[in-house]
Structure formats: C-alpha cells, structure tokens
Homo-oligomer: A and B are copies of this chain.
Amino acid sequence: MDVVSTRGEKEEGSEIPSAGELVREARAAARILLETTGSQRKEALSAIADALEAREKEILAANRRDLERATGITEAFRDRLTLTPERVKKMAAGVRTVAGLTDPVGEIVSGWTLPNGLRIEQVRVPIGVVAVIYESRPNVTADAAALTLKSGNAIILRGGKEAFSSNAAIADVIAEALDGRGLPAAAVSFVRTTDRSFVDDLLSLEGELDVVIPRGGEGLIRRVVERSRVPVIYHGAGICHTYIDADADLEKAERIVVNAKCSRPGVCNAMETLLVHRAIAEKFLPRLEKVLEGVELRGCERSRAFLSSAKPATEEDWAAEYLSKILAVRVVESVEEAVDHIERYGSHLADAIVTESISAAERFTRSVDSAAVYVNASTRFTDGGEFGLGAEIGISTQKLHARGPMGPRELTTTKYVVRGDGQVRD
C-alpha cells in the first residue's frame, strides 16, 4: 500500500516521462490490445472491478490525502472530490457494466464485392491512443479507463490536481490488474505531474496521439480546443429548449416541462428556455406557473402578461446556461419562429417539441440541428445510460465523428479490409 501511494504522489523528478514518451508507450500498449479478443478485454475489466473493491482502503486513504490538502473549496466541490466505500463500490459496478456491454471492435459496418471480385469490408477497429483531460471527480479515472479499454484503446489520463492522489491510486489499481491479466499496464497511463506545460506538449502530438477528450467546465474545454493540434471531441454547454406547440397536449406539456427544468437543474440536458406558441400561451402559462414552484421565471413581454411572477428577460437570458432553477420563457408565433430561436441561441445539445400535430413534429425534427431532438419527451433523456448505451464518456455536441451520447462504439474508428486474388488496377 505504501508503495502505491508513494508512486501515486511523485510529482517531480527525472522519472516522470515526457508527454512524447508516455504517448509512445501507450501506442505500444495499443498495438498489443489490437491482438486481444473481446473476451480477454472483458475479463480484464472484471479483474479491474474486483481489484477496485479489494483495494478500497488504499483508494480511500489516497482520497483522504486529497481532502486534507484541499482547502478553500466549496462544499459542492468537496462533495464531488470525496470517495466513500459506497462510491468505490459504485465505481467497480460501473466497470462491470462496461465489461458486459456489446464489444464494438470487429463489427463489419458495411461491405460489398466489386465487379472485379475484390471484397471490401469496412471494419470497426479501436482508435488507438485516447487522452482524457478531466477535473475533480475521481470516478472519471475508472469510467474513462473502462470505456476505452472495452473498445481496445490505450488511454492517457490527466486529472485535476485536487484529486491527484485519488486518481493516481485508482490508476495504479487498474494498471496492476491489467498486468495481472497479462495485458500491458501502459494501456492505462496516469499523468504523474500537474504541470500545465505537460498538457500543452500532449496537445501538440498530432499524428501520435489520436484524440483528446476534455471533460469538465467551459474553461477547460476552451483551453484544449484553442491549443490542440490533436483532434478534440468535447461535451459542450447545454442550452436546451422545450417548445410547446399550438397543438400540444397541455397535460403532457406540463409534465415534460417540469421534468426538463426541475428534476436536476444543474446538468447539461436540463431545459433553460421554454418557448410557447402564442395560441396556447394564455391557457398554458398560468397553469405552468403554479407547478413550477421555486423556479425563477424570466419572460419576454408577451409571456409576462400571463406570468405574474416573471421578471423581464434580456438578450443574455436567451443565451444563458443557468444550470439552476431559472427558466427563460418566450412566446413565439409559429413552429418556424421556435426553430429560428433555437438555431440562434441554442447549443445544439437537446431540444424538444410538445405537439399532437404530425406536420409540426416533422418540421421541428427536420429543422432543429441538435444532437438529440425530441417529440413529446423530456430533454433529460439525453444520456448514454438512458439511451441504453450502458455508459458514456460524454455527450458530443460536435458534428464530426460522434454526436450525442458517446459509448464504446464512439471510441472506435473503421478501416477498410480489401481481399483479392491478384487484382490490379487498369
């Protein structure tokens, strides 16, 4: 135990590999993972889950060191940083869930035979080396490692400095469990320095590091996107809308709005702006105001005629990701005006329409260009677990490579395998 925690905490000295060295070691590990079967990776994940439970005390001891060092942090931050026996068990259970997911590697995505007899298969393969740069929650260490290993990738983990000891301890347990299964420990590499220049070096390794996934607040994401030459997949802001159409069933509308705003206001898939068709505003808004207890309303002029408690909304409100019990409300003339508002102010994560009209629903789903578009359901379903993916490494709000909740499949790429019998090109 002492050995592990000492290793976990070494921050300086000649033994810390450079970003280039770390990526090269990870790439060598990724090449070995290419030779593994799905069963081997599944068994390794089960071994990791067992090891996390068996070595709970070490992990909690490391976590206590982090908590002792952490002063002047908010209670919410301290809560995110804290591990308990239950949280370690939940972490292990999460790894077991990932172990049981469908293996994406080797899926034949498409295939055909050319007139000359060449057989083309587009096969799903691991991306290679994935770096995850994250903030305070130590459980990300286990979650991210499990998802990347499941899909045959090596991972470089760069956690926040507040959780340094906890992350290092978890990463050590994982690496040693891999080693115990005959797999390369370098498949899960934890960055043992909190020096920012290390991250800059990492982000410059285009062609060596395959992808960077920043997980955390807007500041972290901006920093990574602005500096990286390596492709980045990120989970951006969530300015989600619910539009109540003239043809909405108001009972469904009420239920969906309350769920989207109130069930967990601090998450990215919670609603921030409500759009209401002019024709039903008078009927719906007063009814809604009664059930949105404790929610601060900020409305446009027309909506305020029907909302006794709403303050005037400003231009900033339409673009705000409140992440709290505040709701912007706007009355619109039509589904087109609702779409225009969403395209102008939204973050393209998740947006919903409540309507019984097929043509309004079709118009909305065709024109709203978001990762997830809902008809008569809450935007809160935008989540890998809820979608049935089993787990997620994030929700991509980007359009390239992956869009929406990202599971093991989104941590793969494809290659073409072409089989012939001596064919040459004319």
Contact = CB atoms under 8 A, between A and B. Distances in A.
A420 B34 contact: no
A425 B225 contact: no
Nearest to A378: B424
A423 to B, nearest CB: 5
Contact of A381 (B386, B404, B418, B422): B418
B372 A415 contact: yes
A34 B231 contact: no
10 contacts: A118-B377, A211-B399, A225-B229, A259-B424, A361-B419, A377-B419, A377-B424, A380-B424, A403-B413, A403-B416
B375 A415 contact: no
A76 interface: no
A370 interface: yes
Contacts of A35: 366-367
A398 interface: yes
Given A210-B399, A376-B420, A404-B415, 12 more contacts: A31-B367, A31-B369, A118-B377, A118-B381, A128-B399, A259-B425, A374-B418, A377-B418, A377-B423, A380-B425, A404-B414, A404-B416
A413 B425 contact: no
A125 interface: yes
A419 B376 contact: yes
Interface stretch (A82-90, A165-173, A248-256, A312-320): A248-256
B231 A376 contact: no
A244 interface: no
A393 interface: no
B225 A226 contact: no
A373 B120 contact: no
Contact of A120 (B255, B378, B387, B421): B387
A337 interface: no
Contact of A413 (B256, B263, B377, B400): B400
Contact of A233 (B118, B249, B400): B400
A211 B425 contact: no
A317 to B, nearest CB: 20
A195 interface: no
Contact of A128 (B112, B211, B258, B369): B369
Interface in A386-422: 386-388, 398-401, 403-404, 413-422
A164 B404 CA distance: 40
A68 to B, nearest CB: 37
Interface of A is mostly: mixed
A288 B125 CA distance: 34
Contacts of A420: 374-377
A424 B34 contact: no
A259 B225 CA distance: 43
Contact of A400 (B400, B418, B425): B400
A369 B125 contact: yes
A365 interface: yes
Contacts of A377: 118, 418-424
A247 interface: no
Contact of A255 (B260, B378, B424): B424
Contacts of A233: 400
A258 B422 CA distance: 12
A118 B398 CA distance: 24
A225 B207 CA distance: 11
A287 to B, nearest CB: 16
